[in-house]
């Protein structure tokens, strides 16, 4: 791999991680700006929409970023064709608006009359994300990995179409409509994922996505951000069966558990036998990773993998309190309020790795 010279060893570490066999240390993703790197300016398209959809610009920007980065431990160069978190809803008929850092859907499903959730291969957003995936995969040719785009099926796709307020009311006004719709959307998810996966695996081994984790087979992030708004009973009634279907269909999955409002569903998630792990996202304005040790221990004690974002100040507590097996730490710096910097230097990243790599010599689990 052009931008990750030790990729073969990294693949072995990921295999250990999936099997809870990384006994020496947690897996770690950390990057830093290479020493002495001089950035190159990439000309931006004029419109926001073009910055998202111009595949040539996306590739040039990504290669510039990859060239600038030291990829430490299990971090690797990964380009996921991306039109935002509502792309599956757009494939189902919503429209898209683009901002600088994210996009959002325009809710087009104003009632349930004549609602349809079939896959339309002529949908413009499907054709665009397929085109981007194909072109990026052809460009990568082993230099970097190509991930599957950010798909949010089930209730999250319904939110893209209906809006969160309307869908919340629908759970009371027409609950009989929800579960069949979620299962119809699951069939669209399968069609979309399988076609994109088949494009990428022609030129790379295994799969990845926005979480930055590699698997030798067909893996994906399972998620439902909407569950933060509903009760445990509603989760079990409307969400759990389809989620189990997704997990059974994939070779492996880690559930993206987003925010304290979703923690009430943790026990039900941990009870799913085939679910490999939990990504705990504590959310903006919440205490950082080291403050969630009871949650993380509960996940670990259930035999599941953990994926969590951490800052350098969290490391002593995390390394002391948690076993390395099945633990993945995505490490980022605190934002300096004076300079606004959000990046490690290569030297800083290497120093942090030395701390983590030496820790197992001081502690026997």
| 64, 42 contact by CB (below 8 A) | yes
User: 10-48 burial string, b = 16+ CB within 10 Å, else e?
Assistant: bbebbebbbebebeebbbbbbbbbeeeeeeeeeeeeeee
Position 365 scores a pLDDT of: 43
Residue 73 host element (H or E): strand 69-73
Handedness of CA 281, 286, 292, 298 (dihedral sign): negative
Q: Residue 329: count other Cβ atoms within 10 Å of its Cβ.
A: 27
| 145, 71 contact by CB (below 8 A) | no
**Secondary structure letter of residue 211 according to DSSP:** T
Alpha helices in the chain (DSSP H): 7-18, 48-53, 55-68, 87-91, 124-140, 154-162, 164-173, 175-200, 232-234, 240-249, 266-270, 293-301, 315-321, 346-359
* pLDDT one digit per residue (tens) for the chain, 365 residues: 999 999 999 999 999 999 999 999 999 999 999 999 999 999 999 999 999 999 999 999 999 999 999 999 999 999 999 999 999 999 999 999 999 999 999 999 999 998 999 999 999 999 999 999 999 999 999 999 999 999 999 999 999 999 999 999 999 999 999 999 999 999 999 999 999 999 999 999 999 999 999 999 999 999 999 999 999 999 999 999 999 999 999 999 999 999 999 999 999 999 999 999 999 999 989 999 999 999 999 999 999 999 999 999 999 999 999 999 999 999 999 654 444 557 999 999 999 999 999 886 555 44
How many residues belong to the chain?
A: 365
Residue 329 host element (H or E): strand 327-331
Interacting residues of 214 by C-beta distance below 8 A, sequence separation 6+: 10, 11, 14, 76, 145, 206, 207, 208
**Angstrom distance (rounded) from CA 33 to CA 69:** 5
Position 362 scores a pLDDT of: 53
To 5 degrees, how large is the angle CA 343–CA 348–CA 354? 135
**Angstrom distance (rounded) from CA 230 to CA 365:** 38
**Nearest alpha carbon to residue 232 among 258, 259, 269:** 269
Interacting residues of 42 by C-beta distance below 8 A, sequence separation 6+: 57, 60, 61, 64
**Angstrom distance (rounded) from CA 297 to CA 335:** 27
| 103, 172 contact by CB (below 8 A) | no
**Nearest alpha carbon to residue 83 among 91, 73, 92:** 91
What is the CATH number that goes with domain 7-359?
3.20.20.210
Position 359 scores a pLDDT of: 84
To 5 degrees, how large is the angle CA 41–CA 138–CA 31? 50
Pull the structure tokens for residue 73. Answer: 């431990």
Position 361 scores a pLDDT of: 56
């Amino acid at each position: 791999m052009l931008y990750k010279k030790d990729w073969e060893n990294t693949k072995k570490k990921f295999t250990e991680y999936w099997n809870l066999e990384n006994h020496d240390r947690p897996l770690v993703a950390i990057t830093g700006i290479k020493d002495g790197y001089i950035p190159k300016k990439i000309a931006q398209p004029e419109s926001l929409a073009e910055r998202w959809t111009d595949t040539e610009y996306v590739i040039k920007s990504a290669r510039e970023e990859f060239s600038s980065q030291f990829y430490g431990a299990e971090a690797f160069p990964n380009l996921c064709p991306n039109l935002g978190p509502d792309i599956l809803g757009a494939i189902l008929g919503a429209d898209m608006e683009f901002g600088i850092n994210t996009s959002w859907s325009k809710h087009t499903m104003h009632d349930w009359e004549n609602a349809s959730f079939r896959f339309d291969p002529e949908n413009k957003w499907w054709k665009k994300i397929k085109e981007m995936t194909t072109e990026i995969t052809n460009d990568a040719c082993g230099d970097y990995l190509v991930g599957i785009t950010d798909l949010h099926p089930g209730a999250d796709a319904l939110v893209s179409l209906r809006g969160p307020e309307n869908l919340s009311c629908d759970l009371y006004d027409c609950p009989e409509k929800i579960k069949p719709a979620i299962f119809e959307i699951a069939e669209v998810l399968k069609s979309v994922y399988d076609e994109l996966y088949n494009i990428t695996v022609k030129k790379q081994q295994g799969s990845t996505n926005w979480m930055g984790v590699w698997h030798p087979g067909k893996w994906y992030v399972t998620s439902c951000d909407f569950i933060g708004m509903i009760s445990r009973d509603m989760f079990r009634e409307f969400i759990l069966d389809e989620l189990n279907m997704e997990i059974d269909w994939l070779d492996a999955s880690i559930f993206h558990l987003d925010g304290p409002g979703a923690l009430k569903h943790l026990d039900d998630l941990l009870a799913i036998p085939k679910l490999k792990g939990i990504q705990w996202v504590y959310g903006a304005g919440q205490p950082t990773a080291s403050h969630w040790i009871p949650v993380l221990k509960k996940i670990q004690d259930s035999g599941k993998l953990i994926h969590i974002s951490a800052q350098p100040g969290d490391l002593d507590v995390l390394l002391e309190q948690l076993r390395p097996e099945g633990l993945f730490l995505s490490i980022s710096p605190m934002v300096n309020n004076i300079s606004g910097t959000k990046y490690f230097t290569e030297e800083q990243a290497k120093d942090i790795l030395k701390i983590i790599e030496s820790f197992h010599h001081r502690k026997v689990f």
